[in-house]
Amino acid sequence: DNELTGADARAWLLAFADRVVADADELTELDRQAGDGDFGWNIGSALKRARANLDGDDPAAVFQSGSDTFLASGGTSGPLFGLWFGRLGAGPSASWSVPDLAGAFETATGAVRRLGKAEVGHKTMVDAMVPATHALATTGSSHWREALREAAVAARAGAESTSGMVAHRGRASYLGERAREVLDPGAVSIAWFFEAADGI
């Protein structure tokens, strides 16, 4: 089937949660090198709670049900992820076509950029969100699996690009040149999010 269903969205978020919980130490280590070392805990604890609360018949409802636990979680990333999933929750209340997916991520990523005052090159989660969103908007594929596979490749490349950047937002910006070679953990987690759709 070409359209993402609520069941697909639930499986996707669960796969993302499993990845983050399994590999939280990797994210924490990056945040330790470029921040305060709590990122794996912040996102992992929010996703553990989200895992127990996921609910809904369409993707929008599923993403909405996952957003609240982020708003309540600690760190700068909590409200940003909460907003991202919350805006996805404002998407169409039926199965999502590829254009629906593209539109929903366009809205959600735009909201995070505005709240964080972050653009590509600032070494944040936005460095992975923007190319993934662009891939969804420009894909020639009409199947969500293939479109999300392209988004994952773009998000991964965006995350990798943060090594070599001096941060302009968040705690890593306090370290300047000293954190240049460190991957941004927020951007890595966004790559994991899109990669989690592969294989569900």
Binding positions for Mg ion, rule: CB under 5 A: 31, 35-36, 38-39, 75
Residue 126 interacts with ligand ADP (CB under 6 A): yes or no = yes
Alpha-carbon distances, residue 99 vs 4, 7, 24, 114 (angstroms): 11, 19, 32, 22
Q: How far is the CB of 49 from ligand ADP (least distance, A)?
A: 15
Helices 39-53 & 6-22, crossing angle to 10 degrees?
150
Give the side-chain half-sphere CA count within 13 A for 145: 7
CB nearer to Mg ion: pick between 39 and 144: 39
Residue 40 interacts with ligand ADP (CB under 6 A): yes or no = no
Asked whether 49 and 71 are in contact (CB, 8 A), the reply is no
Q: What span, in angstroms and rounded, lies between the C-alpha atoms of 113 and 36?
A: 22
Q: What span, in angstroms and rounded, lies between the C-alpha atoms of 61 and 103?
A: 16
Q: How far is the CB of 164 from ligand ADP (least distance, A)?
A: 15
Residue 79 interacts with ligand ADP (CB under 6 A): yes or no = no
Residue 158 interacts with ligand ADP (CB under 6 A): yes or no = no
Structure tokens at 151: 């988004």
Q: How many residues bind ligand ADP (CB under 6 A)?
A: 23
Q: How far is the CB of 172 from Mg ion (least distance, A)?
A: 9
Q: Taking Cα atoms as reference points, which of 189, 181, 178, 112 lies closest to residue 156?
A: 189
If contact means CB under 5 to 8 A according to the sort of partner, which of Mg ion, ligand ADP, none does residue 20 touch?
Answer: none
Q: How far is the CB of 21 from ligand ADP (least distance, A)?
A: 16
Residue 17 interacts with ligand ADP (CB under 6 A): yes or no = no
- Name the 3-class secondary structure at 4: strand
Residue 184 interacts with ligand ADP (CB under 6 A): yes or no = yes
Amino acid at 121: G
CB nearer to Mg ion: pick between 131 and 185: 185
Q: How far is the CB of 100 from ligand ADP (least distance, A)?
A: 25
R_g (Cα) of the chain, nearest Å = 15
- Using the rule CB under 6 A, which residue among 38, 57, 68, 146 binds ligand ADP? 38
Asked whether 116 and 171 are in contact (CB, 8 A), the reply is no
Q: Applying CB under 6 A, which residues contact ligand ADP? A: 31, 35-36, 38-39, 42, 75-77, 80, 116-118, 124-126, 169-171, 184-187
